[in-house]
Structure 1
């Protein structure tokens, strides 16, 4: 009787153990449901977070470098502006540079007027026909002086009242001076050229310029007409008018009326 009871107790204990094992298996399965995909997803999230942290750190490092470079850049800009002003002031006193520019202007204006070697082909007065060469116009001398290229300096521009200076820059004003020298050089060549070297469309203007060139106050000076102003840098717009006002004030040009023409004379350095 006791043996039967012991056997029953052992069977119950085995059954209980087996039941507990089954429960543990179910819990493990529930806890580890889809373990492969979960681990992969978590790994991907971790990798993305690390990449973002690296990018944020790189941005912080770049911002720090740029912030440290700003004072150096400001000092470099200030030094460059000071050097630029010095070079612009020095350029006024370097005649070789001005001569080179005028040589280029001579080539351009000669092509525009259709003139070729006009300076070396003027006939003598005795062989000159009245319809070709007005007697009052003197022969061109070898080594004729080019139009003056008297640039302004940064200090001169800064010395002007703000209402006169407006938004003009040193580069704009000096570029306009280059244009004015080109106009004056074109007129000088047109005045001295014989008729056979001047196109029909320019002959009437050549005669008009020769009359103007003999006017008191203009004779012997380089000049151009208001109607000659056609750019590329100097134009008859508000900016161009402001530039002419500034140059009159700084004694680079003077103006005079000759008939219906407004004549602008280029002045030489004192």
Structure 2
């Protein structure tokens, strides 16, 4: 046997002998009544240390999960920010632009037909601003909230096109109502008289039109689709109906 192998064998045997001696010593110590309490205390502390290590391991795992969750939230926030930036830079052209709910028309004061003709040197009546209320366009959120049975195959653009035509008829009607009587032609005066006859106590101070106004001032067809759109506009509180004397008055909300 080589000397190196013999030395390794001796070292191994000596290590085993040392381990046996330690075991015998520990067994003797364990049988010693004076040291049992100390050994019991050490055993309890080892158990507590083991439990503490388990808790630390659990906490480390939870922190790792939290770290992964925060990374996912960060990625989601970055993605949402990029999408918002893209939408801000590519706003669809068909979305309604902010508009005033009213337009202004400057006219002279309304004059009664029976008013006496003033002298040429008399001062002209002061100009005053008249407001004509218009219905706001339907927003995409409102369009999405309309029940499917009510929308059918109607599109967002078709509904807002009708809103614009109703506003067109309203503006045309009230421009005539705000026009001085002496400047009216016979056809315009006929329209004016009809407008006044259609007024009721329920529409006083309100802006409204009837189907005759829609036919007079727009190219809309008063068909089934038109009335379906009117139902949507009532649902979205753009118009409301006032009935009476065989007429349906569409009041601008």
RMSD: 3.5
Query: Which digits, 9 at most, give the CA deviation of each residue in 1:150-186, with x for residues without a partner?
Result: 1111121111121110111111111211111111112
CA contact (8 A) 2:209 2:251 kept: yes
Query: In structure 2, what is the equivalent of residue 84 of structure 1?
Result: 92
The structure-2 alpha-carbon separation of the partners of 1:233 and 1:161, relative to structure 1 and needing over 3 Å to count, comes to farther
Q: Which structure shows the higher strand fraction?
A: 2
Q: Among residues 106, 110, 120, which one is paired with 2:108 in the alignment? A: 120
Would you identify which runs of 4 or more consecutive aligned residues in structure 1 move more than 4 Å?
none
Q: Among residues 197, 201, 213, which one is paired with 1:216 in the alignment? A: 201
The SS at the match of 2:141 is: helix
Cα offset, 1:266, TM superposition: 0.5
Distance 1:166 1:149 in 2: 22
Query: In structure 2, what is the equivalent of residue 49 of structure 1?
Result: none
Query: Which digits, 9 at most, give the CA deviation of each residue in 1:175-206, with x for residues without a partner?
Result: 21111111111211222333332232332331
Cα offset, 1:141, TM superposition: 7.5
Work out whether 1:228 is the aligned partner of 2:216.
no
Query: In structure 1, what is the equivalent of residue 137 of structure 2?
Result: 151
Q: Which structure shows the higher helix fraction?
A: 1
Distance 1:167 1:233 in 2: 21
Query: In structure 2, what is the equivalent of residue 245 of structure 1?
Result: 231
TM-score computed with the length of structure 2 as normaliser: 0.52
Q: Runs of 5+ in structure 2 lacking a partner?
A: 1-82, 117-124
The structure-2 alpha-carbon separation of the partners of 1:191 and 1:131, relative to structure 1 and needing over 3 Å to count, comes to farther
